Amino acid sequence: MRIFSKTNFYTPHKNNVFNTKKNEKSGQTLPVQDSVSFGAKRKERNYETILTNIPKLPCACCGTIMIPEKSFEKELVKDYDAPGGEILKQLKKYEPRMHKTEKEIVRNLYKLSKRYPDAKLDELFTKKYNVHLVKVMNKQFKILEKIDKTYPELSEESQKQLNQTVTKAQNILIYEDKNIKDKRKRIIRDFYELYKTRPEKAVFYRILQEAGKLPSSENDIDAYFVKYFDVNSKQLVKKLLEPSKSTIEHTRSQYENGKDHYSNYLVLCRRCNGKRNTTPYKKFIAQNPKMPENTQKYINAVIEYLNKHYVYGLEHYPQQIKATLAEMTEGEVILDISKYKPKWRQG
Ligand SMILES: [Zn+2]
């Protein structure tokens, strides 16, 4: 996964999408090169920027239509000090592209804004903090209760360690300050530690699965409200939209010496990109069974764009990414690129 800072951006359309001109003799359409030349590194940056800004591009993993990277270069809303309801209206255009939990949060806040028309966005967000906290704690304790029982398969020592781990988790949830983040992550890590170190693998695997059900801000709005209680309006807007941001994914990860080259690029939403991290591609597909189907939707959108726009250097992207994916998945993912019929080729 790689996310670029603003300073790394180049404007694609100025520099890298070349105009086409009719050759007077043959009537063929040929690309006209810009006078600006680039180093190889800068070219890859340009390809990244073009790919991440293709309109209505579905995430190659989850299929959500992403928010183009360039939308984040400017302020996402006009005035963060405006009443929350006003800001939420400005977010409406992004709503279809938001992930499920974020969408629910926006709807929830929108309802609240009707009751508190003067409240700022961050004030609306914290209005019901206590209600959400109680709800999320109920869910957490139900799960811990389910884990905390006597398992006949466990040795005395394993049982003791399990009970201690549950007590520690309860203490984290009850006594730790609300400013301390990553509580869920730490609790799950402790159960993972048991799974790794204790001999009764099957039991601890089941327990680990159960612990994985602890509500997280990604899939539970109560957890979301509790986790981000201290963000300001601007940070909240960013939090709501950024998971849908289009980002470059290296199919063969940089960790596996994957090339920083467009033939290795897929565009994923930031959330899926974060989940992938350094997971080998085949395993990642197994974890996300809809991915082959969504990667096809992704390449269809890219092809539609490339059929209309001549992008110097990306002429062979569909063929190249098809080859990369076929290789990485040992033939499991074979993209259909038969619709790739760029206009510029016929002239
Ligand atoms: Zn995604």
Is pLDDT of 42 > 90? no
**Residue 177, C-beta contacts closer than 8 angstroms, at least 6 positions apart:** none
User: Residue 41: which pLDDT band, with cuts at 50, 70 and 90?
Assistant: low
Give the count of domains, the chain: 3
Contact 121, 234 (CB under 8 A): no
Same domain, 251 and 338: yes
- Let me know whether 328 and 255 are in one domain: yes
122 shares a domain with 233: yes
**Residue 204: other Cβ atoms inside 10 A:** 25
Round to whole Å and give the CA distance between 225 and 221.
6
As a whole number, the mean pLDDT across the chain is 87
CA 69 to centroid of ligand 1, rounded, Å: 14
Beta strands 246-250; 265-269: pairing state: antiparallel
CA atoms within 13 A on the CB side of 86: 11
Distance from residue 269's CA to the centre of ligand 1 (Å): 4
Query: So what's the pLDDT on residue 277?
Result: 83
In a domain, 44, yes or no: yes
Residues 108 and 234 in one domain: yes
- Identify whether 1 is part of a domain: no
40 CA distance to ligand 1 centroid (A)? Answer: 29
- The per-type count for the chain, helices as H runs and strands as E runs, is 16, 4
Residues 260 and 300 in one domain: yes
In this prediction the pTM is 0.81
What's the gap in Å between 46 CA and the centre of ligand 1? 22
Query: Do residues 237 and 252 share a domain?
Result: no
HSE-up (13 A, CA, CB side) for residue 285: 18
The predicted structure's pLDDT at residue 333: 93
Residues 167 and 193 grouped into a single domain: yes
Cα–Cα dist 147/162, whole Å: 9
pLDDT tens per residue, range 234-254: 999 999 999 999 999 998 877
Q: Average of pLDDT values for 203-211?
A: 97
E strands in the chain? 20-22, 29-31, 246-250, 265-269
On the CB side of 241, how many CA atoms lie within 13 Å of its CA? 24
155 and 20, same structural domain? no
Residue 173 alpha carbon to ligand 1 centre in Å? 30
pLDDT, tens digit, 9 for 90 and up, residues 132-176: 999 999 999 999 999 999 999 999 999 999 999 999 999 999 999
How many angstroms is it from 62 CA to the middle of ligand 1? 4
Q: How far is the CA of 30 from the centre of ligand 1 (A)?
A: 36
Residues 143 and 200 grouped into a single domain: yes
- Looking at the structure, do residues 108 and 152 belong to the same domain, yes or no? no
Let me know whether 92 and 226 are in one domain.
yes
DSSP label at 65? Answer: B
Please give the angle made by the CA atoms of 294, 271 and 56, to the nearest 5 degrees: 50
How far apart CA 315 and CA 286 sit, in angstroms, is: 30
Low-confidence winner among 189-198, 258-267, 310-319 (lowest mean pLDDT): 258-267
Taking the centre of ligand 1 as the mean of its atom positions, its distance from the CA of residue 294, in whole angstroms, is 9
In which band, very low, low, confident or very high, does the pLDDT at 35 lie, cut at 50, 70 and 90? very low
Cα–Cα distance, 133 to 171 (Å, whole number):
15
- Residue 280 pLDDT grade (very low, low, confident, very high; cuts 50, 70, 90): confident
| 154 located within any domain | yes
- CA of 124 relative to ligand 1 center, distance in Å: 28
Cα 186 to middle of ligand 1, angstroms: 25
* Same-domain pairing of 299 and 265: yes
Asked if residue 322 is part of any domain, the answer here is: yes
Q: Which domain holds residue 176?
A: 130-211
